[in-house]
């Protein structure tokens, strides 16, 4: 009750992001370091949360407190809200702890009414300008604060233009606008049932509540979910004296970065518009000027701005993203924040800031979201390809993309979810398009600049994007676009290069991603800091090589079943399965042996000197046979239509085997080491293949470090028996080939019982690796195949679970089990080698947990290796900082 809900800008600082939101905290900070910030105040996020606790009522006392503080602002600026002579106008903006660009509502020019508009006309000596501000305010207030249909205002405006015979809004006269204001007020009354409020204080309270409500708008909720932002943060509200960039040609507004957000290159980077309001730049309606031109247009302002930019970067020790407005030649800073940047920019800026002495290496390592590295690994258009672009736009988000044209977000989402590659083409994007943007391979717009909605979002998501390609004429209704005389229809193929802005018809040759010098240096620092080892999962020499190129320190998982699935091997695998005797199976396995040996030889050779974990056959055998239901339909059809009896008999024979192998719950069925126990000849063949390869390599002088891994062990007796087979084969091969090689034998820990009994397993095993996908399935009792389609989505939606446990490790449950497993093993052997393989191994949050649990390594797909290297470093730094 005695809580302070309102802070003047000079009462806050940049540490108070939680309470004042990012924008409010930074406005306070800028105010306090003496930068030209229009005065104002911030209503806290706590007030927002309290608003929701009290069923959308403003907390008691807030109104009083707001009034009191507003008085101080009025005194500072020498204007008064509602004062006809010298009216104060304010902007009302949202500002959460974590920036949600364009996600929330803003109301400008608040304070105007029938009275003050006249005062403003007099003060500015520009009646038309005052009227225009007023009509904009009614429109924005009606739409944003009161939910009046925005189209009604737009239609009235269009009608007026028509009636007046003008093309553009700025051609409308003050008188025409006065008429429009009356029309708008009528629309407002029609839409809300109330007169448009003439009392500025009432306007303000309504606007504050509108901002609070916008925290729970669909698009804000969607954005938070997509970005893992907690709902509990709430938004602050910033109430700030208006300054005008649209009062003439000595006015303007712009945004700029202290470094290039695409490349990281040092130097002012941004855009501005003369005689415009801030929203015009962000919305991408007019294409703005590069910031460098400001030096010609307003040399003093430019010099001052350069100076402020440098001050801010040094003050915040990070690249800044700033908004400014020039009102009649005077510069005002409206916002600063740490700038969003591409991964490449983040890496370069971080490396250079270390070299400039602005930050240290650990700080540099914390500057990049590991998942952003994905961007660096994006393909690019092959520079050697002889291809010609049909048009060019702005290079808004790097990476090349190729896909089917789609012209609306819904279709993009639908096709994308089906796994189709699409490029979303829009005049400009709005927050309503996000669900389609996340599913697209690339984004292409005809309007808007490097800081437009599409550009900002695409960079954040790592999706290639070309903006402002004005040569592109889009007819979204007809689902087509014309470019350089060619018509692009839905499903036509288009390619874009987000690094250069070029647009191509059809598919073009691409090269895979490469890492540059800065990146190598940066990851080198990560390697120095991290404690966790990073390995990759690879089933063949090509992937193994890629893993090495990305810096993997070994292979943490080689799945041998992928090898069984290959076309030339499947017949032998099926022969083995159909055999009714051990001898029959052995004969078939004999055929597979040389091929398997070749597989292992190749991988072990690429990984010479690095360990390679080879997991023995894991999936149930029926996965190698035809689908039961298909077969059932075939047989029934053959029977009904009098098919060849021999064919029927043959299929029925196959059906018998399929049925014998079919399972109610294959995930918990006859697979993994259970196959090894019932068909020891399979694992024996695999052991022979591994050690045969080792023997050959030993003779060549290549150091192979195989780690044989027995999957799905639940009981020490399983491991005991199968290890005995492996050891015996190793001994035989060494004796036969008269050669020595090293190997170890370990197990997956992927069912809870294994985790609970590592004190027994570790006595006989040399290592284990968590199979957290299966461990998550069995710990939760979730079949991933079923859960994701049936209920997991709605669990996350309804917040029963904060995130799918298949994406980030569940610390409380699965993590607890892992901890039991680790303690059990290390009690027996303090240096027992423990890793994790599978998708969690490439997820930064899961990597952080793995670090805290004391694992030796994570293993992930080769492309995730750089991500894991950085995430592991951040985990180490996080721990140190705690």
Residues contributing to the site for a copy of itself (CB under 8 A): 628-629, 632-633, 636-637, 640-641, 663-670, 674, 677-678, 712, 714-715, 717-718, 721, 750-753, 756-757, 760, 774, 777-783, 785-787, 790-791, 794-795, 798-801, 810, 812-814, 816-817, 820
H helices of 426-493, in order, are 434-437, 453-461
Tokens for 774, please give them.
Answer: 């299966």
Minimum gap (Å) between residue 710 Cβ and a copy of itself: 13
Helix, strand or coil, per DSSP, at residue 481: strand
As measured in angstroms, the least distance from the Cβ of 835 to a copy of itself is 20
> Whole-angstrom Cα distance, residue 124 to residue 592?
88
- Sheet architecture: strand order including 289-290: 289-290, 266-274, 252-259, 320-327, 330-338
Query: From CA 248, how far away is CA 420, in angstroms rounded?
Result: 49
Closest CB to a copy of itself among residues 83, 623? 623
Q: Based on CB atoms, which residue is closest to a copy of itself, 512 or 717?
A: 717
Do 6 and 42 touch, CB atoms closer than 8 A? yes
In angstroms, rounded to a whole number, what is the distance separating the alpha carbons of residues 674 and 785? 22
User: If you ran DSSP here, which 8-state letter would residue 34 be given?
Assistant: T
Residue 352: both structure tokens together? 């250079």
**Closest approach of Cβ 571 to a copy of itself, in Å?**
24
- Only one residue has tokens 């100076």, namely 307
d(CA 76, CA 325): 19
Q: Residue 859 CB, nearest distance to a copy of itself (Å)?
A: 21
What is the phi/psi pair of residue 351, to 5°? -65, -45
Residue whose CB is less far from a copy of itself, 82 or 669: 669
Q: Which is nearer to a copy of itself, 24 or 771 (CB)?
A: 771
Nearer to a copy of itself, 562 or 799 (CB): 799
Q: Residue 552 Cβ, how far from a copy of itself at the closest point, in Å?
A: 29
Closer CB to a copy of itself, 578 or 677, in the complex: 677
Query: Cα angle at 582 between 577 and 583, to 5 degrees?
Result: 105
CA angle 21, 22, 27 (to 5 degrees): 100
The residue annotated as part of the active site, out of 402, 405, 837, 850, is 837
> Minimum Å distance from CB 817 to a copy of itself?
6
Residue with tokens 């939910």, as numbered in its chain: 147
Tokens of 861: 């797909």
Inter-axis angle of helices 865-881 and 517-529, to 10 degrees?
50
Minimum Å distance from CB 748 to a copy of itself?
11
Pairing type for strands 493-497 and 502-505 reads: antiparallel
CA–CA gap between residue 533 and residue 709 (Å, rounded): 18
Of 246 and 757, which has the nearer Cβ to a copy of itself? 757
Under 8 Å between Cβ of 90 and 76? no
* Dihedral of the alpha carbons of 29, 31, 34, 39, in degrees to the nearest 10: 170
**Residue 147: strand, helix, or coil:** coil
Q: Which is nearer to a copy of itself, 251 or 673 (CB)?
A: 673
CB atoms inside a 10 Å sphere around CB 241 = 19
Task: Name the residue nearer to a copy of itself (CB basis): 719 or 743.
Answer: 719
What's the residue count for the chain? 882
Q: Please say if 837 is a catalytic residue.
A: yes
Shortest spacing between CB 615 and a copy of itself, in angstroms: 15
Beta-sheet strands, E only, within 373-447: 380-381, 391-392, 394-397, 400-406, 422-426, 442-445
- Please list the residues that pair with 707 across neighbouring strands: 613, 744
Catalytic hit among 447, 453, 622, 840: 453
- Dist. CA 875–CA 850, nearest whole Å: 9
Compute the least distance from the CB of residue 660 to a copy of itself, in Å.
9
Cβ at position 723, least distance to a copy of itself in Å:
13
On whether the CB atoms of residues 857 and 533 are closer than 8 A, the answer is yes
Cα(179)–Cα(166) distance, integer angstroms? 15
Q: How far is the CB of 752 from a copy of itself (least distance, A)?
A: 4
Label residues 121-151 b or e (16+ Cβ within 10 Å = b).
beebebbbbbbbbbbbbbbbbbbbbbebeee
Alpha-carbon distance 201 to 18, whole Å?
27
606 or 722: whose CB is closer to a copy of itself?
A: 722
Whether the CB-CB separation of 332 and 36 falls below 8 Å is answered with yes
Report the residue number, 566 or 663, with the smaller CB distance to a copy of itself: 663
Question: Is 177:131 a contact under the CB 8 Å cutoff?
Answer: yes
Q: Which is nearer to a copy of itself, 36 or 813 (CB)?
A: 813
- Among 40, 43, 46, 55, residue whose Cα is nearest residue 9: 40
8 A C-beta contact, residue 452 and residue 284: yes
What's the rounded Cα separation, in Å, for the pair 46 and 816?
A: 34
Maximum distance among all Cα pairs of the chain, rounded to whole angstroms:
104
List Cα–Cα distances, 343 to 131, 373, 497, 877, in angstroms.
Answer: 45, 6, 16, 20
User: Smallest Cα–Cα separation from 164: which of 122, 218, 128?
Assistant: 128
Q: How far is the CB of 259 from a copy of itself (least distance, A)?
A: 43
Closer Cβ to a copy of itself, 166 or 820, answer by number? 820
Distance CA 52, CA 215 (A): 10
Q: How far is the CB of 629 from a copy of itself (least distance, A)?
A: 6
Q: Catalytic site residues?
A: 453, 837
């Amino acid at each position: 009750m005695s809580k302070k809900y309102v802070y003047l800008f000079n009462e806050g600082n940049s540490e108070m992001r939680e309470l004042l939101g990012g924008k409010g905290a930074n406005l306070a900070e800028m105010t306090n370091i003496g930068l030209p910030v229009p005065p104002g105040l911030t209503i806290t996020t706590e007030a927002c949360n309290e608003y929701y606790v009290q069923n959308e009522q403003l907390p008691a006392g807030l109104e009083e407190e707001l009034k009191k503080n507003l008085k101080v602002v009025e005194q500072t600026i020498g204007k008064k809200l509602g004062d006809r002579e010298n009216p104060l106008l304010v902007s009302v903006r949202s500002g959460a702890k974590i920036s949600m660009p364009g996600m929330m509502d803003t109301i400008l020019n608040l304070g105007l009414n029938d009275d003050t508009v006249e005062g403003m006309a007099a003060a500015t000596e520009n009646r038309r300008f005052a009227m225009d501000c007023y009509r904009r305010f009614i429109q924005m207030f009606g739409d944003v604060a009161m939910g009046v249909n925005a189209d009604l205002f737009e239609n009235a405006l269009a009608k007026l233009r028509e009636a007046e015979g003008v093309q553009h809004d700025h051609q409308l006269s003050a008188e025409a606008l006065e008429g429009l204001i009356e029309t708008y007020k009528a629309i407002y009354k029609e839409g809300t049932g109330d007169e448009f409020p003439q009392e500025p204080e009432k306007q303000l309270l309504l606007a504050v509540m509108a901002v609070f409500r916008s925290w729970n708008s669909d698009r804000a909720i969607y954005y938070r979910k997509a970005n893992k932002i907690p709902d509990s943060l709430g938004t602050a509200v910033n109430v700030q004296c208006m300054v005008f960039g649209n009062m003439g040609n000595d006015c303007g507004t712009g945004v700029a970065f202290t470094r290039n957000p695409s490349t990281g290159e040092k130097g002012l980077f941004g855009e501005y518009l003369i005689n415009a309001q801030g929203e015009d730049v962000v919305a991408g309606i007019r294409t703005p000027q590069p910031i460098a031109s400001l030096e010609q247009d307003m040399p003093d302002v430019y010099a001052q701005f350069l100076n402020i930019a440098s001050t801010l970067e040094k003050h915040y020790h990070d690249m800044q993203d700033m908004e400014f407005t020039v009102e009649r030649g005077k510069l005002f800073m409206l916002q600063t924040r740490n700038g969003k940047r591409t991964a490449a920019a983040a890496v370069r800026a971080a490396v250079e800031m270390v070299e400039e002495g602005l930050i240290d290496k650990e700080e540099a390592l914390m500057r990049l979201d590991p998942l952003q590295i994905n961007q660096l690994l994006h393909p690019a258009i092959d520079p050697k390809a002889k291809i010609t672009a049909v048009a060019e736009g702005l290079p808004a988000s790097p990476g090349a993309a190729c896909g089917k044209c789609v012209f609306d977000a819904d279709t993009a989402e639908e096709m994308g979810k089906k796994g189709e590659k699409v490029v979303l083409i829009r005049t400009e994007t709005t927050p309503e398009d996000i669900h389609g943007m996340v599913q697209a391979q690339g984004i292409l717009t005809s309007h808007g600049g490097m800081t437009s909605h599409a550009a900002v979002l695409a960079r954040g998501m790592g999706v290639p994007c070309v903006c402002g390609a004005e040569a592109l004429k889009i007819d979204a209704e007809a689902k087509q676009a014309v470019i350089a005389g060619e018509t692009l229809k839905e499903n036509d193929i288009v390619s874009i290069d987000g690094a250069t802005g070029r647009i191509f018809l059809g598919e073009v040759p691409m090269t895979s991603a490469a890492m540059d010098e800065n990146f190598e240096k940066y990851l080198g620092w990560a390697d120095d800091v991290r404690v966790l080892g990073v390995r990759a999962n690879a089933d063949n020499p090509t992937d193994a090589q890629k893993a090495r190129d990305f810096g993997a320190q070994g292979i943490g998982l080689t799945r041998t079943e992928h090898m069984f699935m290959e076309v030339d091997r499947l017949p032998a695998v099926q022969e083995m399965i159909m055999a009714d005797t051990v001898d029959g199976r052995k004969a078939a396995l004999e055929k597979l042996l040389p091929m398997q040996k070749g597989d292992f030889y190749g991988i072990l050779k690429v990984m010479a000197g690095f360990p390679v974990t080879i997991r023995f056959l894991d999936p149930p055998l029926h996965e190698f046979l035809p689908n039961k239901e298909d077969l059932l339909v075939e047989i029934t059809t053959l029977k009904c239509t009098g098919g060849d009896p021999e064919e029927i008999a043959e299929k029925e024979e196959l059906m018998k085997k399929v049925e014998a192998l079919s399972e109610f719950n294959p995930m918990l069925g006859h697979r993994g080491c259970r196959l090894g126990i019932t068909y020891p000849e399979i694992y024996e063949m695999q052991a022979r293949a591994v050690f045969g390869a080792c023997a050959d390599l030993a003779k060549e002088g290549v150091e192979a470090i195989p780690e044989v891994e027995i999957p799905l062990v639940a009981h020490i007796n399983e491991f005991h028996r199968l290890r005995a087979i492996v050891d015996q084969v190793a001994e035989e091969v060494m004796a036969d080939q008269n050669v020595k090689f090293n190997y170890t034998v370990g197990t997956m820990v992927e069912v809870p019982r294994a985790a609970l009994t590592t004190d027994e397993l570790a006595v006989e095993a040399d290592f284990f690796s968590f199979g957290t996908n299966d461990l998550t399935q069995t710990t939760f009792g979730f079949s991933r195949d079923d859960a994701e389609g049936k209920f997991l989505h709605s669990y996350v939606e309804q917040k029963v679970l904060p995130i799918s446990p298949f994406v980030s490790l569940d610390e409380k449950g699965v993590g607890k089990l892992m901890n039991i497993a680790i303690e059990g093993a290390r009690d027996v052997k303090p240096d027992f080698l423990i890793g994790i393989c599978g998708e969690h191994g490439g997820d930064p949050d899961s990597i952080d947990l793995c670090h805290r649990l004391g694992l030796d390594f994570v293993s992930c797909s080769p492309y995730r290796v750089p991500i894991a290297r950085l995430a592991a470093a951040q985990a180490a730094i996080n721990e140190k900082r705690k």
